[in-house]
Amino acid sequence: MMEWTKHLLIVPILLPMITGAALLLIDELRHTLKALLSVASTVLLLLTAVALLRMADAAPDAGPALSTAYAVADWPAPFAIVLVLDRLSALMLALTAVLALASLVYSTARWHAAGPHFHTLLQFMLMGLGGAFLTGDLFNLFVFFEVTLAASYGLLLHGSGAFRVRAGLHYIAINLAASLLFLIGVSLIYGTAGTLNMADLAVRLPAVPAEDQTLLRAGIAILGTAFLVKAGMWPLCFWLPSAYMAAAAPVAAIFVVLTKVGTYVLLRLSLLLFGPATVDAGGFGGTVLLWGGMATIAFATFGVLASQAMGRLAGYSVLISSGTLLAAVGIGNSAVVSGALFYLVSSTLSVAAFFMLIELVERAREPAADVLAVTLEAYGGEADESEEHEDEEVGVAMPGALAVLGISFGCVAILLAGLPPLSGFIAKFSMLTGMLNPGGLGAQAAIPGHIWLLVALVILSGLAALIAMMRTGIRTFWAPLEVIIPRVLVVEVAPILALLALCMYLAVQGGAMLSYTNAAADALHAPSTYIQGVMGTGQPQGASR
């Protein structure tokens, strides 16, 4: 690797930060100029993420490669502000950039002009996400986490409306409480371990005095709770369906990746701090993640079946995805984690496409359909979603639009249900294979009862998603007596088709994708590679306080 390529690690933070600041200087009425600059910056971000993805996977056949560390200001570890690139962080960066570009293109139809500073807020959120995925320090993780949340507050309220404001206030209150827990947890960890550098913390944990172990574990548990709120684990997930349902379509699409921040951090820290390289090889908190994930899947499955409004159906689909990923992290098996990473990408792309598709599909429904759906869910409990839509018509009436939307809806249903031949099936099959064959194909091993329960929940959640999507599809595309041709623009349909095409591409390239996720999972289960990449091979300075 050439020396200059290391500087690419700072680009996912600096590029959106500079773009967001520059957009503040442009008059808010110049929507087209701001949109062009924002899209151009996001394209550059996507190209950078692809370059980092290739850099992280430079030697896929050589086993878990050393992580690439970038020390800001060139201070030595663990004192430096360290950015760390490995296969997992590179995958999350690429996924974020893809969703951001799709959401931006979709928003240019009308949503970017529905309120002030849309592009600035989105760029700052991308800055926070890039930093959260790359940082190797818990305090900087807190900083980037707060930047992401602060931008998301404005984006959720973008477009106004009573329903959106009410859901947004709940969202802000819950996330402020999670931030407080985050800060308390970080403070306890620093007070007992004397460091917040993740690699250094992994080295120091065995040397923490016995009298401080309880306080240290309490700090880690509090920190984990903060991320479980963000990941949407039951019973901490009550805020998510309403908040995501209330958000504007492009905002809800990019918000899908926000729940994955919590899963990413839990996966990273659980294996780094309590993996085979530490004293507590049993996996601190693994049981909570496993049973909490299964409870989340069960809760979200009932939510999917009960949902009448498509926005709420998509929100509960996010929870099914989160619960499945949390349970996979709780199992800790490398093969299961590999399948979970594939599932993370596939489910994020499909649910994001669903959120954008919902707005277009609703234009083909009768005006009273939204009111009826909300009334069926909670009698008089929620506002009419029609508040979200402007009075003027958007787009042009295209005869083939309804067919395109119907086919797209069917593809989303197949992806959410995990049916062949799309990527959702490959991802779920890979996870189930890892659960039922922990020692590899042909190896004899007893399967615990809780694993069978998780397998049943994964299958039943897919069946529930299929039933709910079929019911909604029939009501929307088949049952109406009067066919309404929706008015859509190409920039609204193109991002949806692009995300679905990417899911199809993942299915075609399933072998290559699984090779990448296998390597990423193996690296996560060999935390010494991460530690050496940050601290240097054999560096002893983290062994004492």
pLDDT tens-digit profile, the chain (545 residues)? 456 677 888 899 999 999 999 998 888 788 889 889 999 999 999 999 999 998 888 754 444 555 677 777 667 666 778 888 889 999 999 999 999 999 999 988 888 777 788 889 999 999 999 999 998 888 899 999 999 999 999 898 887 778 888 888 888 889 899 889 999 999 998 888 888 888 888 888 878 888 888 888 888 889 888 889 888 898 888 888 888 888 888 999 999 999 899 899 988 888 888 764 333 334 567 788 889 999 999 999 999 998 888 889 999 999 999 999 999 888 878 888 999 999 999 999 999 999 999 988 887 665 445 444 444 444 444 444 444 444 445 545 455 777 888 889 999 999 999 898 899 899 999 999 888 887 666 666 677 788 889 999 999 999 999 999 998 888 887 765 566 677 778 888 899 999 999 999 999 998 899 999 988 888 888 887 888 777 753 344 433 33
Within-domain flag for 391: no
Q: Which amino acid is at 19?
A: T
Residue 386: inside a domain:
no
Give domain status of residue 513, yes or no: yes
Q: What is the DSSP letter of 476?
A: I
Question: Structure tokens of 387?
Answer: 């508040």
Quick check: helix, strand or coil at residue 360?
Answer: helix
pLDDT at residue 349, as a whole number = 94
Evaluate whether residue 392 is within a structural domain: no
Please identify which residue in the block is written with the tokens 């306890």. Answer: 188
> What does the block give as tokens for 219?
């700090």
Note whether residue 200 is domain-resident. Answer: yes
Please indicate, yes or no, if residue 443 is contained in any of the structural domains.
no
CA dist 11 and 515 (Å) reads 27
In a domain, residue 387? The reply is no
Show the domain range for 65. Answer: 3-378+398-438+448-537
Q: Is residue 471 part of a domain?
A: yes
Which pLDDT score is estimated for 390? 45
CB 264 within 8 A of CB 141: no
* Number of structural domains in the chain: 1
Question: Is it true that the peptide bond before 235 is cis, omega within 30 degrees of 0?
Answer: yes
